Amino acid sequence: MAVNLRVEEDEESLGKDKIQPLLKAEMEHYWNIEEGNKQASATLVERLRLKDIYSSTVWRASLGELFHTAILVFMIDTIVISTYETKTITPNLTISILVGLIITILILATFPVSRGHINPIISFFAALVGLISFSHAAVYVVAQCLGGALGALALKVVVSSTIEQTFSLGGCTLPVIAPRPNGPLVTSLAMG
């Protein structure tokens, strides 16, 4: 009997210290909950936590997101190009293993600073679920998009012009199908 009581006491004490989603903890702070009626006690600016944009931790985290997203884009593009240029026997396996390794390393490096989003969609859904505020998500998304562009520009600077043309780096390509007597000719029209 004493053992069962102790287990129940341990479960009760653990229940008090459980980590709850950020949204639930913040909702209690920003809403007065009395007898099931929700009455707004905060303004929209307070609910969206727009004042957090001025905090140094948000900007430090966004710089981490920018830097690591740039590395991610650069490394993934480099892995894909080098795998296809070296005529690897199993390029899909090589690419998936190396990309998985790179993503794991980057998430482990970014997690202490910004929880390792490295992707605008992850940041957006983290804000929807309530893990981060929408102001944090907006700053992260801008930083991640800039990081992606910087990573692509860094790759364009490093590779030769023949590889740049082969893999359509630095712009969009539109496939163009031209009819010919011997069958259609598929080419691409480069933009940018």
Tens digit of each residue's pLDDT (9 = 90 or more) over 9-45: 444 444 444 444 444 444 454 444 444 545 556 676 6
Instruction: Count CB-CB contacts under 10 A for residue 41.
Output: 12
Looking at residue 27, its amino acid is M
Query: Do residues 123 and 144 touch, judged by C-beta distance below 8 A?
Result: yes
Burial of 20 (0-12, 13-18, 19+ CB in 10 A): exposed
93-130 pLDDT per residue, tens: 989 999 999 999 999 998 888 888 888 999 999 888 88
> Across-strand partners of 32?
39
Domain boundaries, given as residue ranges, for the chain: 2-42, 50-168
Burial of 26 (0-12, 13-18, 19+ CB in 10 A): middle
Residue 6: is its pLDDT beyond 80? no
* Residue with the larger pLDDT of the pair 55 and 63: 63
Integer Cα distance of 155 and 145 in angstroms: 16
Q: Whole-prediction pTM value?
A: 0.66
Among 99, 57, 103, CA closest to 79:
99
Q: CATH homologous superfamily for 50-168?
A: Glycerol uptake facilitator protein. (1.20.1080.10)
